[in-house]
Amino acid sequence: MSQADIIFIEMCKDILENGYSSEGQKVRPRWEDGTPAHTIKKFGVVNRYDLSKEFPILTLRPINYKAAIDEILWIWQKKSNNVRDLNSHIWDPWADENGSIGKAYGYQLKIKHKYPEGEFDQVDRVLYDLKHNPYSRRIIVNMYNHADLHEMRLYPCAYSMTFNVTGNRLNAILNQRSQDVLVANNWNVVQYAVLVHMFAQVTGLVAGELVHVIADAHIYDRHIPIVKELIRRKPYPAPKLIINPEVKNFYDFKVEDFVLENYQHGEPVKNIPVAV
């Protein structure tokens, strides 16, 4: 059984059994028909994934890991804020007529800052520190820039990463202000697990632990029956992540450099309603 499945099942059970409902409150999200999208939530969920033991992808249902990787490359490698640089259409609802999502996500990562060692954007600063000062406790990326929030089509959900090296293991904490558990939980876990592997490979380290901190972990009202059915399913063993060992430069990674070996999974969950 995949550890990611165990974590997901226990988290969902906890939210459903002990969570707080927003029924009766005024909420921002709406369903397509205009109905308020209420949730049941838990505050301050913390999940830990040991990437040295297995790749944390759900087997209860298939996760389109290629599309997930494409999105993380769009943000962290291309540092783009335009959906025309992305191969999927998941960001289309938040894009303007030119394809821009405003000063969000990739836009923030490409802003350069001055340091004693020179000028770096946030991604290049991580690469520099992991190679030259790996035991620093200051290796942090933050996309929640208050000065630019008014020009973002969507405030960042997964907004910061803290990297920390222990021995030769690269560990990381992903901070997320809000998460739609059914739609996005394992999608984000897969993305940032891959990102840790990428940084580890190009800096001579090995992937260690990914700690996922979610301030508001919620299940939408119309997702509850789907989640209940999903967590009753039979899980499978975790697949093995294979990364092209020839890639030594962070900016050379492509989606096809990542393969999951023996990825067994349950049936797809179709027609999941998405609140916006």
Instruction: Confirm or deny that 142 is annotated as ligand binding.
Output: no
Other CB atoms within a 10 A radius of the CB of residue 33 amount to 6
Instruction: Confirm or deny that 150 is annotated as ligand binding.
Output: no
- Given 58, 63, 157, 158, which residue is catalytic? 157
CA angle 26/29/35 to nearest 5° reads 80
Instruction: Confirm or deny that 219 is annotated as ligand binding.
Output: yes
Instruction: Confirm or deny that 271 is annotated as ligand binding.
Output: no
Whole-Å CA distances, 36 to 19, 29, 53, 210, 223: 19, 6, 41, 34, 14
Nearest Cα residue to 211 out of 46, 4, 43, 6: 46
Instruction: Confirm or deny that 137 is annotated as ligand binding.
Output: yes
CA distance 183 to 264: 20
Instruction: Confirm or deny that 179 is annotated as ligand binding.
Output: yes
* Catalytic residue flag (residue 12): no
Other CB atoms within a 10 A radius of the CB of residue 232 amount to 9
Instruction: Confirm or deny that 128 is annotated as ligand binding.
Output: no
Instruction: Confirm or deny that 57 is annotated as ligand binding.
Output: no
H or E segment to which residue 199 belongs: helix 181-202
Structure tokens at 115: 């340091």
Q: Which letter does DSSP use for residue 93 in this model? A: G
Instruction: Confirm or deny that 275 is annotated as ligand binding.
Output: yes
CA distance 98 to 100: 6
Instruction: Confirm or deny that 61 is annotated as ligand binding.
Output: no
Q: Known binding site: residues?
A: 64, 137-138, 177-180, 188, 218-220, 275
Catalytic residue list: 157
Q: Known binding site for dUMP: residues?
A: 137-138, 177-180, 188, 218-220
